[in-house]
Structure 1
């Protein structure tokens, strides 16, 4: 079965995703935008046969099997539910939604409709992530005790930019913090405690935040992210008998090495490749669609809800509030199956 993709949204991430995936042989048949002009231009640039002037028209297209949602965070839940309601499988760009409550609604709706839904956390599918899971399973660095990761970028400071607008889910957390938090949960599991401290902009969104997560058995994750500074952005998984160091930029195809307890390099790897990271997650999602197995794998929907709940709690401690926070939420991060 060839999965035929449609795209909701025509912004920068949609261009990158479609370009990378098209180069890998993935099939796109339609794009939808709230502007017919933007939709036409996107379709022409990427060789997509159908351009729709609304999201409703895109999800109603009978030739579309799966929808990639690439709109701003504030629209993710609405647009995902629209596609699910039309019976489409849905890959939703990170952060999955604004809150855990929204994420729960999307995941539950997908289950009722018997369609696949997944967060487009491309890092989970990169070679270094697959290697880390394998090394931990084999016990090569002993019991993991610490995860360290940063995500720092110098991004636009214009108050009107979506990154700085609380109405659009602005701030460092949803754009940048989701990477190290998801990474920590992937390695050490859903945390049992969250401690966060941060700096807010005049608009009320987080410009910087430090988060310490405590995991089962006392392991910890030490994470920092910011949208007003730039750093090498490296990551480490530290075990009792060694560690894994992932080079800049750790959340993209890069290089990494395994070290023993004394710091000596045991093995080195190079995950830089022609096949871009977006294609890895798209192929994994296509496998979910064609196999009929709509959950599990490197980015299980329940783990996405758990990550959103962690981010909810960190934002609460720092004082970042969105309109969606007024809706009923979850009492605690749910268990991961």
Structure 2
């Protein structure tokens, strides 16, 4: 089990949590049921924290990336040396022209994603793109159209969509075991200093703000358990001095009458906690972005059940595995982008209501 258990201390940040998760599986055999589709040859764009985590996660499975490209060539060479990556590209165009690369993992800032998506998809590469997959719904619709036109797979790397825990919970919910889903209450709060407002959290030139950085997780877990896309949304958003959204309170309702209540903030710590309430039980998930365990409390007798599925340390491996399954024709894996599109529609509408516009959108 990963994440946080009762009586333990939660990691201070995402990087510390990932480090702890990797340490927990060190020396253990990698599960045989993660990668079930034909293996693709992968290259990564960007060499930041998440790219390093992907290389470390794949190493647990005995896999390596085949190529790396970064704006700063020296960083690309250092990354390649650290993780045994065979090829360093001088430009993204060179990467796209390499026939030995099947899939590209995009880890650059949000506002650069569409540029890389256009080039990679047009070149016939499958793409796994970090959250937020695009800035807005129009960009995502364009990227989806390019993927379809070129016969390749586009996938959103938001971990909620790929963790086995949610697949298992969704299976049980769809089977009717929990009864009707009524309410999702989801919170996510981080404390980011105001000292440097040019950082990616508060800088509009880097598509900063709570929604694209942390709200995508909260909205994804809500949407995953709703029968249909919310059609009514009311919200309040507080903006930082730079004009990006710093905090938000969101209430959603769909045609089925299911509610979602979400709280987000970049300047106050609050638990990453999701509670999904059904007729017969409620499901609690702590540290939910990469969770591998949940607690079900049954309405009839108060009995508590622990559900475990997957392993936190393999979160990014599950993303790669889902894209490879989608390429092999798995319909469930291909449908994950529909959920991501619904979430993007919500985020686009929310930013519009709050008056948050990025330079690329003006």
TM-score by length of 2: 0.85
1:330: which partner in 2? none
Match of 2:247 among 197, 208, 223: 208
Answer with 83-92 or 21-30: which moved more: 21-30
Q: For the residues of structure 2 that align with 1:57 and 1:174, how far apart are their CA atoms?
A: 29
Q: For the residues of structure 1 that align with 2:214 and 2:313, how far apart are their CA atoms?
A: 23
1:98: which partner in 2? 135
**Do 1:3 and 1:27's aligned partners in 2 also have CA atoms closer than 8 Å?**
no
1:306: which partner in 2? 342
Secondary structure in structure 1 of the residue aligned to 2:187: strand
Secondary structure in structure 2 of the residue aligned to 1:106: helix
Q: Which structure 2 segments of 5+ residues have no match?
A: 1-37
**Do 1:118 and 1:299's aligned partners in 2 also have CA atoms closer than 8 Å?**
no
Count of aligned positions: 323
Offset of residue 127 of structure 1: 2.9
TM-score by length of 1: 0.91
Matches within 5 A, 1:1-337: 1-157=38-194, 158-188=196-226, 189-246=228-285, 248-262=286-300, 264-271=302-309, 273=311, 275-289=313-327, 291-292=328-329, 296-297=332-333, 300-326=336-362
**Do 1:124 and 1:299's aligned partners in 2 also have CA atoms closer than 8 Å?**
no
Question: Compared with structure 1, are the counterparts of its residues 299 and 181 closer, same or farther at alpha carbon in structure 2 (3 Å cutoff)?
Answer: farther
Question: Compared with structure 1, are the counterparts of its residues 298 and 220 closer, same or farther at alpha carbon in structure 2 (3 Å cutoff)?
Answer: farther
Secondary structure in structure 1 of the residue aligned to 2:100: coil
Q: For the residues of structure 1 that align with 2:46 and 2:114, how far apart are their CA atoms?
A: 14
Query: Where do 4+ consecutive residues of structure 1 move more than 4 Å?
Result: none
Q: For the residues of structure 1 that align with 2:192 and 2:54, how far apart are their CA atoms?
A: 20
1:8-38 CA-to-partner distances (Å, cap 9, x unmatched) read 1111111112211232234410000112111
Answer with 5-14 or 156-165: which moved more: 156-165
1:125-146 CA-to-partner distances (Å, cap 9, x unmatched) read 2132112201211222210010
Secondary structure in structure 2 of the residue aligned to 1:31: strand
